[in-house]
Amino acid sequence: MNICACGNPADSKGSRCDRCAALQTLGLEADATAEQIKDAYRLLVKVWHPDRFQNDRKLKDETENKLKAINAAYVLLTSPAASKVKRAQPRYASASEARAKAAGETTPAEPVRPAGAAPGPRSKLRFGLKYLAALGVVSRLCIFAVLIGVSALVLNLIDSQLASDPATASVYLNLRSGMIRQLDASRRKIWDGIGERFNSLIPHSSAAQPAPPPISAPEPPQQKQRSRQPARPAPATHALLPFITVGLTRDEVLATAGVPTSASEDKLVYQGSELYLKDDKVVGWRIDPAGSPLRVKLWPDAPVDPDLDSFTVGSTKNEVLVVQGTPTTFSENTFGYGRSEVYFQHNRVASWKEDPTSIRLRAVRR
């Protein structure tokens, strides 16, 4: 097996490991920092962007292949698994081993168990029972975790489909809000019953005497000590998200959607669908409903009447989201639903354009 210069196993095609090969693609050394990797990636994206070679088809194809390799190398170097790759450390002999070797002596080997001193049947049986018990607990925990994950994915998929489909969005949102209200009312009723039961157990004095002021429980000393310590920022992680929405960073999009077809400083392209970036964060998109691999979602950022079934001039963006769902084309002042568009001014509907052959807008004129 080939060994890379960094000490890690090399791939079958060459003498470098995946990380060193990715660093070579970006033109970096083995000790490159995360900031150097990001700067090199941005520079190479600008240099090898296919739009610079529109008039030469051959050069454009070459730059697209080069850009795919650059994107793949960047994803590999910024993935959580890449941070775990470490350079193999050589083993150095201890001082006693060095002196014994210099004197021509051999170091004593570890004691070997005699052939006749095999473990007894009781110890073997005990070990086997412990192994089976541990294996049973681990397998049950794994099955339980898999079932929870599958259930969560199915529920998220059903919620996204029903909430984004204009035909079922209004009915589903009304049903969901009603269920949430019922659950909240039940929760409040249970807590009120617990509070009344707790108050009935406390002896009360006569009505003539004023009720004593409530006594707050003293804060535990350990909690006070912790409150004085400054909060440590949590490490940045790139979890896989069910939807792409406004505010996600470039790294979060790459971790969720994978390597794009093409990329630039302000745009990521996935099979005809485009995500627009500003300061490395998502600010808009244009999604191809026919074959897009991207799943985008917008939620209202303020309470909205879930019973709305239409919008008009002056309606807010949140009201349009409740009525129409997530737009396939989104920018600061435009919501697009297929080839139909809604235009905003100061975050309120100013006008709209409806294409009869595309998604119907639930808009009414005053």
Q: Which of 16, 223, 330 is nearest to 320 (CA)?
A: 330
Q: Which structure tokens are listed for 191?
A: 């807590």
What structural domains and CATH numbers belong to the chain?
A: 18-84 (1.10.287.110), 250-353 (no CATH)
Mind listing the pLDDT tens digit for each residue in 262-273? 999 899 999 889
Q: Which of 255, 256, 293 is nearest to 274 (CA)?
A: 293
Mind listing the pLDDT tens digit for each residue in 64-102? 898 899 899 889 888 876 655 544 444 444 455 555 555
Pair 16, 9: CB distance under 8 Å: no
* DSSP track, 42-86: HHHHHHT-GGGGTT-HHHHHHHHHHHHHHHHHHHHHHSTTGGG--
- φ, ψ dihedrals at 101, nearest 5°: -65, -40
Q: Which of 252, 334, 324 is nearest to 285 (CA)?
A: 334
Per-residue pLDDT of the chain (366 residues; tens, 9 = 90+): 677 777 677 666 667 788 888 888 888 888 889 899 999 899 998 888 888 888 888 888 888 898 899 899 889 888 876 655 544 444 444 455 555 555 555 444 444 444 445 566 777 777 777 777 777 777 778 888 899 989 988 888 888 777 777 777 777 777 877 788 888 888 888 888 887 777 676 654 444 455 555 555 555 555 545 555 566 665 555 555 678 999 999 998 988 888 898 999 899 999 889 999 999 999 999 998 777 778 899 889 889 888 889 999 999 999 999 999 999 999 989 999 988 999 999 999 999 999 988 888 999 987
Beta bridge pairs of residue 286: 274, 329
Full-model pTM: 0.37
Helical axes 121-164 vs 169-200, angle rounded to 10°: 120
pLDDT score recorded for residue 349:
94
Helical axes 250-257 vs 57-78, angle rounded to 10°: 100
Question: Strand, helix or coil at 231?
Answer: coil
Q: Are strands 262-264 and 334-337 parallel, antiparallel or unpaired?
A: unpaired
pLDDT score recorded for residue 167:
72
pLDDT score recorded for residue 315:
93
